[in-house]
Chains A and B, each alone.
Chain A
Amino acid sequence: MSSVESAVRPPVAKIKKRTLKQRLHASGYKWAPYLFISPFFAIFTVFGLFPLLFSLFLSFHYWEPAAGLSAMEWVGIENYTFALTDDWFQTSVYNTLWLALAAGIPQHVIAIPLAYFLHTSFKRSRNTVIGMYFMPFITSTVAISLVFTTLFSRDFGMINMLFTSAGNWTIGDIQPLAWLFPTENIDWNRPEYTKTMIAFVVFWRFVGWNTVLYLSAMQTIPKDLYEAATVDGAKRWQQFWYITVPMLKPMMFFAVTLTIIGNLQLFEEPFIITGGTGGLEQAGKTAAMHMYITAFVEGDFGTASAISWILFALIAFLTWGNNKLLGEKK
C-alpha cells in the first residue's frame, strides 16, 4: 500500500495517476466483497459453527450435563437409531408437520387474495388495514401466548363463549348453527383440540406478515400488464389468476420457504400454551419441543443433539423440495 502511495507524486502526469487509481480500485474491487461479508462469518464461527460442531460431537455421546463436561461417553450412532425408532419422536414430527400444514397453508391461501384485494381496492385506508393485520407479528410470543391461554380457557374463555353462543343460537325450536358450532364448552387442552388451538395462534401471528410480503411483491408487477388485460376484457379474478399469481411466484418461494423453516422449528407458542409439557398425550409437542424436553427434562443431551440433526436434515429436505417446486430456475 505505502509503495503505491509513494508512487503517487505531484509531478506524475494526470493520465498515469488515473490508471494507478484504477489499478488500486481494481484490487479494492477484489478484496472488498470478502471484507464486506466477513462479519457474518466471524460471528458465525464463534457463535454458530462452534455450537454446531459441539452438538455434532455430542450427538455421538451419552452425556449427563449436570455432571459437567468430563462425563461424556462415546456411544456411536446409538442416539440416532434410538431417536429414529422412538415413537415419541415420531409423534412430535407428525405434530410438527400437522401444525406446519394447518397453520401454514391458510396463511398463504388467505394472504395472497387479501394482499391482492388490499392492493387493488384500498386506497387511503390501506396502510391502516395492513397495520391491523401486521400487529400480531410484532408482539411478543410469550406475552400473547399467555393472553391466548386465558382466551382458550374452557370455562372462562372468550372463544368458547362465542362458539357456544353461536351453537346454542335458536330460532324457534331449532338451533341453525348447532352443526357448525359446539353447544358445550370445548376443553382445548384435550389431545384432539390442542393442535387446532396452537395452529390458530401461529396462523394469527403470521398471516399479516405474509400479506405484507405479497403486497410488496405486487407493487413490483408492472401496471400495464393489468391495463392490457383490462383492454382484452379480462375479469378481475382472471387478472388475479393469470397475472398476479404467476408474477408472485418468486415471492411465494421466499415466503413459503420462511414458513416451512419457521413452522418446522415451532417452539415458543406450543411451549407457552402447553405449559412446557407438550400437552396431554403430547398432542401439542413439536419436534423442537421434543428436543428441548429430551435435553432438559430427561437430561439426555446426546439424544437431543441427534434429534436436532435429524430435524435439520428434514428441514433441509423440505426446503429443497420447495425449491424444486416453486424456485426459479436460473
Chain B
Amino acid sequence: MFNKKKLGTVALALGTTLALTATSAWAKTTLTVASFPSFDLAVQSAIPLYKKINPDVEIKLVSLAYGDHHNAMTTALATGGNLPDVMGIEYGYIGRFASSGGLEDLRAAPYSAEQYEKLFSKFTVPLATGGSGTLAAIPADIGPGALFFREDIFTKAGVTEEDLIKDWDSFIAAGKKIKETTGSYLVASAVDIKDVVIRSGLKDGEGIYFDAEGNITVNNDRFKEAFRLAKAVREAGIDAQVGAWSSEWTEGLRRGTIASQMMGAWLGGHLANWIAPESKGLWRSAALPGGTYASWGGSFYAIPKKAKNKAEAWEFIKFMTMDKEMQIAAFRDLDAFPALVEAQNDDFINQPIPYLGGQVARVEWKNSADRIPAMDVHKHDPVAEQIINDALEGVLERDENIDAALAEAEKQIKRRARR
C-alpha cells in the first residue's frame, strides 16, 4: 500500500545526511558501551588509547542522561534486546542490578574475577555482589566523602577548619558565626546533614536503611540523631534551603553565599570545572565532621548475560578498571577517584591541587576511602531514601515529632519493600 521507493525519495529529499540504513557491517568487532554523564567521559577519552592496543575492536559509546540510562538498561535487561556489551551502572542502581540475575557472574569462569577483588578499595566490592555470592560488576570509581569549604569566608568569620569538623555542636556554632559576620549560609540544605549522619558509624556489612539480613533500620538512634541535627541546623538558620544540583545551589556555591558542601571528593572537579572556576584557590577540602567516613556515589561496569561480545567486553572492563594509567587519567582529568588501590597509591596523589590552594587533598581522600566501611546496598535503597527525605521534610517544615515521623517511615518502607 505504501511505496518503499517513495519513502526513499522523500528521505533523499530531506537531505543526504540522513543515514537511515543500519550502520554498515564491520569486519571488526563493535563493542557497545552504555554509560551516562559524566562517567561516559572516561570511556570517551579511553577510546583512542584502547584502539591502539586493540585495533580490531571498534567501541561504540551510547550515553543517556543518568535516570534515562538506568531505565533503558532495565528495559534492555527485561526484553533482552538492545543490550550493550558493557554496561555502566551507578551506585544508586547497583543494588538492584546486582541482585537481579541479569548480569554475568564475574566470579565464575571465564572471568574468575575473585582474584582481582583485592585490587580495589575494600568497601566497593561488596556493593556489586548479589545474593548467593555472585559478583555482578567491577568498580571503576568511588566517592570518598569530603567537606569542601571556602577558606576566605571562614577566615573572615574567624572560624577554623577545626571548629567545623570537631563535632556537630561546634559545626552549628561555626555556622551561626559565619551567618552573622558574612551573611553566607554554611550549608546548602539541612538535608545534607542528615545524609552525612545516617552514613556514619556503620559497621561492615550493614546498609544505610537495611541491615545485612534485610531488616529495616531507620527507626534507630542513628536516624534520630540525624533528624535532630538536621532540625537544629534549620533552626539555627544556617542552611540556604536549596537542593543540590539546582541553579540556586550552583550559583550559591559560585557566589559564596553557600560556604561549604559535603559530598564525594569528585565535587572538587565539578567546582573547578564549571560551578565556581572563578574561586580558584579559595576552596579547601576537609574531613567530614564528627569523624564520619562515608561514600558518595561510585560507578561500576558490568556485562549483561545476553551480551554479544563478552570476551571483548571483559577485556575492555579490565582495561578501564585495572589499568593504573587509565585510572589515574580519569582521576586527573575527571576527578573520578579511582577504585583501584594501586592507582590510589601512585605518587600522583601527592601532587598539590591548585584549585584547592595547593592543598594535597587527594591523600586525605585516600585516607578517608581506606576507612569507609564495607556498606551493604539493598535493592529498595532508593525507595527508602525517598521515604526518609519526605519524613525529614515533615520534621523540618511542619515541626513533626521525630520519633513519630521515623516510626511512620519505617512502616512505609516495610510496606513498599514487601518483596
Contact = CB atoms under 8 A, between A and B. Distances in A.
A and B assemble together: yes
Interface of A: 62, 64-69, 71, 82, 86, 88, 150, 153-156, 187, 189-191, 276-277, 280-282, 296-301
8 contacts: A62-B419, A68-B80, A153-B247, A191-B393, A191-B397, A297-B383, A298-B382, A301-B78
A189 to B, nearest CB: 7
Contacts of A82: 418
Interface of B: 67, 70-71, 73-75, 77-80, 96-97, 100-102, 241-243, 246-248, 251, 305, 379-380, 382-383, 386, 389-390, 393-394, 397, 415-416, 418-419
Given A299-B74, A299-B379, A68 B101 contact: yes
B130 to A, nearest CB: 10
A299 B96 contact: yes
A298 B74 CA distance: 11
B74 A66 contact: yes
Contact of A150 (B67, B247, B386): B247
Given A82-B418, A281-B390, A299-B74, A67 B102 contact: yes
Contacts of A301: 78
A66 B97 contact: yes
A282 B386 CA distance: 9
Contact of B251 (A65, A68, A156, A300): A156
Contacts of A86: 415
Contact of B382 (A62, A154, A189, A297): A297
A198 B75 CA distance: 28
Given A66-B78, A68-B102, 20 more contacts: A64-B100, A65-B74, A66-B73, A66-B74, A68-B77, A68-B78, A68-B80, A68-B305, A86-B415, A150-B247, A155-B248, A156-B251, A190-B397, A280-B389, A281-B394, A296-B74, A297-B382, A297-B383, A299-B96, A299-B379
B248 A153 contact: yes
B241 A187 contact: yes
B416 A298 contact: yes
Contacts of A67: 77, 100-102
A33 B393 CA distance: 59
Contacts of B383: 297-298
A316 B240 CA distance: 45
A80 B99 CA distance: 25
Contacts of A299: 74, 96, 100, 379
Given A155-B251, A156-B247, A65 B78 contact: yes
